[in-house]
Structure 1
Amino acid sequence: MSSRTIRALALASAALAASTALAACGSDAGEAKSPTAEASSIKLGYFPNITHAPALVGVGKGLFAQSLGSTKLEATTFNAGPAAIEALLSGAIDATYIGPNPAINGWSKSKGSALKIVAGSTSGGAGLVVKEGINSAADLKGKKIATPQLGNTQDVALRAWLKQNGLTTDTSGGGDVSILPQDNATAVQAFAQGTIDGAWVPEPNYSKLILESKAKVLVDEKTLWPNQEFVTTHLIVSQKFLKEYPGTVKKLLQGHIASVKFIKDNGADAQKAANAQIESLTSKPLKDEILTAAFTNLEFTYDPIASSLFTSAKHAEGVGLLDPVDLNGIYDLTLLNDLLKADGQPEVTDKAS
């Protein structure tokens, strides 16, 4: 074999080794192609509920599609947080609007590897409404109170509040106060029929029970929180998707910001847009008076109100619905804050206090 042939083979071998190394680096799961890397599509989850109004408006008015450009938006709706989290964990969706406790559970279940909270969405709009004659926590002893689902955000809030007031509960409906997890439509009907004594629910069912069934407010949850702010809904993204396609996540957040702005700036038109999307998804739009009351009781915000998430986790641990979990790292607000700063808006924090 000539020296020229040997040299050519050596060069070819070196080139093959280099290309193999580069391919190995490029196939590393979750490694970003570049800070502006974009996906061909993004699968977004949300709920047909007024507490997800930024998603309803963003999808319904095409604000996400406009910001995403050539990236196709594939929107999917869910009726419960656990189902949305399972979809995210399995890769069926890339991002979703969701409540705090399902996000905490997803973080815990995946040992901090599955998701990042990338923006706030909604604050407030939940509480305990009861029938006449119940005027204090002590009056709830022996009563039946509904929540949307065992371990969901409102269920944890009720159990923590009862514990703080010296009342016991358990996960099977026993204790001083019988907690009955049931879907919101069932709870509304059960209250009207008198088979439950109250419910800790989010909007619009909070306002629906007050306006249609003459329930009285025993606890407006915002009164329990500093500055009357607590997270009801926020936006989470798969860590894998965020690492691989930060450019797409940034554009999704641009659509989110545009949607929240639209809601803040357009009042009645925003309510109509959200309700129109609910009608298209469920064929059951909200009545005007309930829609208006619900919007009045909610605040739409980019701020994830991180301090309330950490407190909610402690509440869940305290009532035995969550093992101790380290939430450090659950937020990645870098892209959101870049966009807010560029828009001349105040940045938000991921601090626990």
Structure 2
Amino acid sequence: MHRSKQVLTLFTLTFLLAACGGGGGGAGGGAKGPDATAQSVPKSAEDVNGTIDKSKVKRELVVGVDNPYYLFHEDIVVAQEKGYFKEFGIDKVDIKTIEDPLPALIGGSLDMALYDSDTTIAAAKKSNTGVRFLSVYLGGEANILGVGKGINTAADLKGKTITGGQFNSRNDAILRELLTKNGVVPDQDVKIVSTGGQSNERLQSVIAGVVDGASVQIRHRELLERAGGKFLFEETRKVPQNGWAANELLTESPETVTAFLTATLKARQFITDQANKDAVLAMMTKKGFDIPSEFADAYSAENAPTYHVADGGFDPADMDKFIKDQIGFKSVPEGTDWRTYTSLVPLWRAQKILGLPFRPAIGNV
């Protein structure tokens, strides 16, 4: 599900910040350095504040989400519908669906943003603002080659045309790895082409016969099979690919950040309990999300606790590898230490409030 995006240049970020009237972090004035949002790192569980002072919580929030698919909105909707936000002091959360929410987060018009982890960390480094990655939303990465009718084996791919999206993107790279693992030599046994758009567009290209195969997503299985195709190769990796970030809110109201994460993680506990599938889908449909049966059937996979990460946490070794890979793909600047641009105290507080184990473990970052 990872979407390859070009990292914003420093010039672009500077321009956007100026246009939003901020001189760095936003309405507060001058530019913030990397340590502007630093909080004392707890040494033990006893050092983590397990309560929220609701008198210090911002009542209304505006958050940005880049993907219109229901999966990226459900934590907020469920938290709102079930009263979890009010439980922790938040009255209303307004969602803005924006292709790239980072400029608005940096400029100060968004309180929080849900976006690709690597792109967020890269933008935090390049902009030198207070943007910090907070917690993982999707921690599984599906690597799937969907193919058209008549392709049933690796041998059937000989001479065929496939795409993983744009050349030099992560999707392109991991598709090439998947081919190699299954005995197919990229650019020799198959012709790989570069295409724009996201996975839905790639699926339609396969169904329409524009390409013979493409990198697709879990929810596309039934749609592809109905058209006579199939998932030829597939695997799921542990990759902290997507998550929440904050900027000014982290320094202006850390209680609000903790309240938001606590409420949405409580919602996620409800969502990842497969017994609640029908209730969750009903809530999302009521809110106007189009969820065809094929997408509903993918619920168990897309909302598995290890994919739509139930605790918001991650393994530091997985993040190390992910960022290292993305540096290699030039999506993240050379020498980036993700720890510098990550704030885990709100996540640890939320985990403690909800009775969840600390992940990452305190002292293991």
- The TM-score with structure 2 as length reference comes to 0.68
Aligned counterparts of 2:158 and 2:83: Cα–Cα separation in 1: 45
Query: Of residues 240, 247, 254 in structure 2, which corresponds to 1:231?
Result: 240
The amino acid of 1:251's aligned partner reads: A
Q: Does 1:38 align with 2:57?
A: yes
1:150-229 map, 5 Å: 154-155=171-172, 157-158=174-175, 167=186, 177-205=192-220, 207-222=221-236, 225=237, 229=238
1:289-322 deviation line (CA, Å, top 9, x unaligned)? 4322243254332223443333233223323444
From the superposition, tell whether residues 249 and 343 of structure 1 become closer, same or farther in structure 2 (CA, over 3 Å). same
From the superposition, tell whether residues 332 and 345 of structure 1 become closer, same or farther in structure 2 (CA, over 3 Å). same
Structure 2 residue matching 1:96: 3-state secondary structure: strand
The alpha carbon displacement at 1:138 in A equals: 11
Q: Does 1:69 align with 2:89?
A: yes
Corresponding residue for residue 257 of structure 2:
249
Aligned counterparts of 2:314 and 2:256: Cα–Cα separation in 1: 20
Q: Is the 8 A contact 1:121 1:234 kept in 2?
A: yes
Uncovered stretches (5+) of structure 1, i.e. residues with no partner: 1-26, 170-174
The alpha carbon displacement at 1:101 in A equals: 3.3
Q: Does 1:318 align with 2:308?
A: no
1:86-140 deviation line (CA, Å, top 9, x unaligned)? 22222221112223333233234324x3422222222325222232537449947
Corresponding residue for residue 118 of structure 2:
101
Aligned counterparts of 2:158 and 2:319: Cα–Cα separation in 1: 27
Uncovered stretches (5+) of structure 2, i.e. residues with no partner: 1-27, 40-51
Q: Is the 8 A contact 1:128 1:201 kept in 2?
A: yes
Aligned counterparts of 1:349 and 1:253: Cα–Cα separation in 2: 15
Q: Does 1:263 align with 2:271?
A: yes
Q: Does 1:88 align with 2:108?
A: no
The alpha carbon displacement at 1:333 in A equals: 1.5
Structure 1 residue matching 2:143: 3-state secondary structure: strand
Higher mean displacement: 57-66 or 98-107: 57-66
Higher mean displacement: 301-310 or 50-59: 50-59
Aligned counterparts of 2:119 and 2:288: Cα–Cα separation in 1: 22
Q: Is the 8 A contact 2:163 2:172 kept in 1?
A: no
From the superposition, tell whether residues 349 and 152 of structure 1 become closer, same or farther in structure 2 (CA, over 3 Å). farther
1:34-83 deviation line (CA, Å, top 9, x unaligned)? 995433432112333244264354356254532453554222123x4xx1
From the superposition, tell whether residues 88 and 51 of structure 1 become closer, same or farther in structure 2 (CA, over 3 Å). same
Higher mean displacement: 255-264 or 267-276: 267-276
Aligned counterparts of 2:130 and 2:244: Cα–Cα separation in 1: 14
Q: Does 1:303 align with 2:318?
A: no
Aligned counterparts of 2:301 and 2:257: Cα–Cα separation in 1: 30
From the superposition, tell whether residues 181 and 57 of structure 1 become closer, same or farther in structure 2 (CA, over 3 Å). same
Aligned counterparts of 2:130 and 2:63: Cα–Cα separation in 1: 15
Q: Does 1:285 align with 2:300?
A: no
Q: Is the 8 A contact 2:138 2:241 kept in 1?
A: yes
From the superposition, tell whether residues 133 and 332 of structure 1 become closer, same or farther in structure 2 (CA, over 3 Å). same
Corresponding residue for residue 340 of structure 2:
329
The alpha carbon displacement at 1:252 in A equals: 0.3
Aligned counterparts of 1:168 and 1:310: Cα–Cα separation in 2: 29
Query: Of residues 128, 136, 141 in structure 1, which corresponds to 2:144?
Result: 128
The alpha carbon displacement at 1:248 in A equals: 0.6
Aligned counterparts of 2:347 and 2:126: Cα–Cα separation in 1: 26
Q: Is the 8 A contact 2:116 2:243 kept in 1?
A: yes
Structure 2 residue matching 1:118: 3-state secondary structure: strand
Corresponding residue for residue 48 of structure 1:
68
From the superposition, tell whether residues 321 and 243 of structure 1 become closer, same or farther in structure 2 (CA, over 3 Å). closer
Q: Tell me the number of residue pairs that the alignment of Structure 1 and Structure 2 aligns.
A: 306
Q: Is the 8 A contact 1:51 1:232 kept in 2?
A: no
Pairwise CA RMSD: 3.8
Q: Report which of the two has the higher share of helix.
A: 1
Identity level (%): 16
Structure 2 residue matching 1:300: 3-state secondary structure: coil
- The TM-score with structure 1 as length reference comes to 0.70
Q: Does 1:273 align with 2:280?
A: yes
